[in-house]
Structure 1
Amino acid sequence: MQFADEFKGKKVIVTGACGIMGGWIADGFREVGATLCLTDREQGKLDAMLAKQGSDGHIAIAADLRDAASIKAFADDVADAWGAPDVVVNNAGIYPSAFLLDMDIDDWDAVFDVNLRAPFLLSQLFARQMIAAGQGGSIVNISSGASRKMRTTVVPYCTSKTALDRLTKGFALELAEYGIRVNAVEPGFMAGSDVSPLSDDHVSAAIASIPLGRPSSPKDVVGAVLYLSSEAGAYVTGATLTVDGGNSIGTKAVYQAKKKAL
């Protein structure tokens, strides 16, 4: 398998591991031989996921990404168990929905705590560990096409992802001298989750508008994250890799209308 030899023995952190995207990313790294540290809010769910991953040295540590002290304790626990990680995937994110006129300040703060402040703190803490260990590394932030296209009812999410893209470039610039690369991946449309459910009509309409005609699959996101974490991507830093079936360049309906006009 591509990347298999390269990731054997590599230590990889995945935040938001119990979500759909986090599970895909964790499975992808496990399949190429990496050793995983999974984190999410609930230890019970993490333990169940860890049991599925097998007992090849993987660990699971619960952390509250809204709490700076919990994030610091998590980083310390990883250092005690592993030393410095080789790859950090900042995948955790939340997506509350409300119009700005109706949004509660606690919901606003939660979005920026999880989607922006947590990646900042985690990147800072683990980059310090990498530097102290005298090694390079890779940090991959999971962004969104919402960083470039505003959507009603989820303006805080869009704003947080725009800021995450800028944070990615800032860390890439400042960590380059230490051999630590920092990039982002913008996944394509997914058919919702228990946390952010979507109606069947919404899902059908969204898929119909994607130029490549299908939603994101596990291999799409995982392939991008693996590439950016690998030697194949060794000269890539500060980049945002869009993996969305062409959705960000225009919808299928708009493309077809223009084609007929020609």
Structure 2
Amino acid sequence: MNFEGEFRGKSVVVTGAAGLYGRRFAEAFAAEGAKVCLTDRDQGELEGLLGEMELPEGSFAHAADLTDDASMKALIDAVGERFGAADVVVNNAGIYPSGFLLDIDVADWDRIFDVNLRAPFVLSVGFAKQMIAKGVKGSIVNISSGASRKMRRTVVPYCTSKTALDRLTKGLAIELAEFGIRVNALEPGFGAGSTVSQLAEEHVKRVTAAVPLGRESKASDLGPAVLYLASSAAEYVTGATLTVDGGNSIGSLEVYQDKKHPL
């Protein structure tokens, strides 16, 4: 898809920028000429990213703790000072700890919801107010997951937080529509480097083999998807979820991997 330079000079915020998906989203917008605010927990890691990535002039890094209100306010203020208002916000940061519900600590449950749900709410509202004040008809993209519709053992809090994020996406969409601000969700596919914890090679092979289209998610899958949702090509799209996961959320081949069509 050709976006014909429509993001050139625009301002984009990407949370969780140090992660696999966050970096892919940031690189996609930067390649189209957008200034990017990279935000994650560790400033040193973000500075390293600034040195590695080819970002347009005006891009910057700002560390933020998405479980801390003061830290999120500082991020919103920094974006206001640098950009006036963001044109696009990608709420990508998320955590994926595992454990059975019988064993999980309430504090861990709260931390998952703080990062995966509360932070997108706080940041979306804060950035939306800046957009409204500056007359920016912006776009917010929340990074969801097929887990929002497909419950999984040992990661129930994560699945539940993503289900709630989908509802928040629709709620923000309907309330921000009068200001011309669109809010949508994107569901990426499986990527072995997208989780903080290391995944065993055998596990990665097994999960990938179960994806109907038979492979992991690539940067070339996600870049065009997030750009589309933020672009004028999607100017009549809000409150929607775009799933780019190779069919993984509609069904798994895991049980039937040894069964092939005779053709």
Normalization by structure 2: what TM-score? 0.94
Aligned partners of 2:53 and 2:216: how far apart in 1?
25
- Cα shift at 1:192: 3.7
Secondary structure at 2:116 match in 1: helix
Report SS of the residue matched to 1:14: strand
Partner of 1:21 in structure 2? 21
Question: 1:213-228 to 2 correspondence within 5 Å?
Answer: 213-228=214-229
Alpha-carbon contact 2:96-2:195 (below 8 Å) kept: no
Q: Are positions 1:167 and 2:168 aligned together?
A: yes
Q: Residue 203 of structure 2 aligns with which residue?
A: 202
Instruction: Within 5 Å, give how 1:78-227 maps onto structure 2.
Output: 78-193=79-194, 195-227=196-228
The residue type paired with residue 226 of structure 2 is V
Aligned residue number for residue 74 of structure 1: 75
Distance 1:160 1:194 in 2: 16
Structure 1: distance between partners of 2:179 and 2:233: 18
Which secondary structure state, in structure 2, belongs to the residue aligned with residue 6 of structure 1?
Answer: coil
Moved more, 36-45 or 52-61: 52-61
Superposed displacement of residue 252, structure 1:
3.1
Q: In structure 2, what is the Cα distance between the partners aligned to 1:232 and 1:32? A: 15
Q: After superposition, what is the alpha-carbon deviation per residue over 1:161-193, rounded to whole angstroms, capped at 9, x for unaligned?
A: 000000000000000110000000011111145
Pairwise CA RMSD: 1.8
CA distance in 2 between partners of 1:260 and 1:218 (Å): 30
- Tell me the distance in 2 between the aligned counterparts of 1:183 and 1:3: 18
CA distance in 2, matches of 1:185, 1:42: 25
SS in 1 for 2:6: helix
Q: 1:106: how far off? A: 1.6
SS in 1 for 2:187: strand
User: Matches of 1:93 and 1:167 in 2, distance apart?
Assistant: 15
Letter in 2 for 1:169: K
Look up the match of 2:233: 232
1 CA distance for matches of 2:51 and 2:107?
A: 35
Unpaired runs of 5+ in structure 2? none
* TM-fit CA distance, 1:195: 1.3
When normalised by structure 1's length, the TM-score is 0.95
Q: Within 1, Cα distance between the matches of 2:169 and 2:195?
A: 28
Mark the runs of 5 or more structure 1 residues left unpaired by the alignment. none
Shift, 1:259, TM fit:
7.7
Q: Does the CA contact (< 8 Å) of 2:144 and 2:166 recur in 1?
A: yes
8 Å Cα contact 1:4-1:33 kept in structure 2: no
> For 1:213-233, what per-residue CA distance to the aligned partner results, in whole angstroms no more than 9, with x for missing partners?
111001111111100000111
> Secondary structure at 1:111's aligned position in 2?
helix
Q: 1:53: Cα distance to partner?
A: 2.6
Q: Which residue of 1 aligns with 2:58?
A: 57
The answer to whether the 8 Å contact 1:147/1:161 transfers is yes
- Give the distance between the partners of 1:91 and 1:76, measured in 2 at CA: 19
Tell me by how many angstroms 1:69 deviates. Answer: 1.3
Could you say if the C-alpha distance between residues 193 and 241 of structure 1 is closer, same or farther in structure 2, counting changes exceeding 3 Å? Answer: closer
Deviation at 1:52, TM superposition (A): 2.0
Task: State the alpha-carbon separation in 2 of the partners of residues 153 and 197 from structure 1.
Answer: 16
Q: Does residue 30 in structure 1 map to residue 38 in structure 2?
A: no
> What is the rounded CA distance, in whole Å, between the counterparts of 1:25 and 1:192 in structure 2?
14
How many Å apart are 1:256 and its aligned residue?
Answer: 7.3
Structure 1 residue 255 displacement after superposition: 7.2
Instruction: Assess if the C-alpha contact under 8 Å between 1:211 and 1:252 holds in 2.
Output: yes
Q: Aligned partner of 2:17: which letter?
A: A
Q: Which runs of 4+ in 1 moved over 4 A?
A: 253-261
Deviation at 1:104, TM superposition (A): 1.2
Report the secondary structure of 2:243's partner residue. strand
Structure 2 SS opposite 1:7: coil
Structure-1 residue corresponding to 2:7: 7
1:251 positional shift: 2.1
3-state DSSP of counterpart to 1:51: helix
1:202–1:258 distance in 2 versus 1, CA, 3 Å: closer
- Aligned partner of residue 5 in structure 2, secondary structure: helix
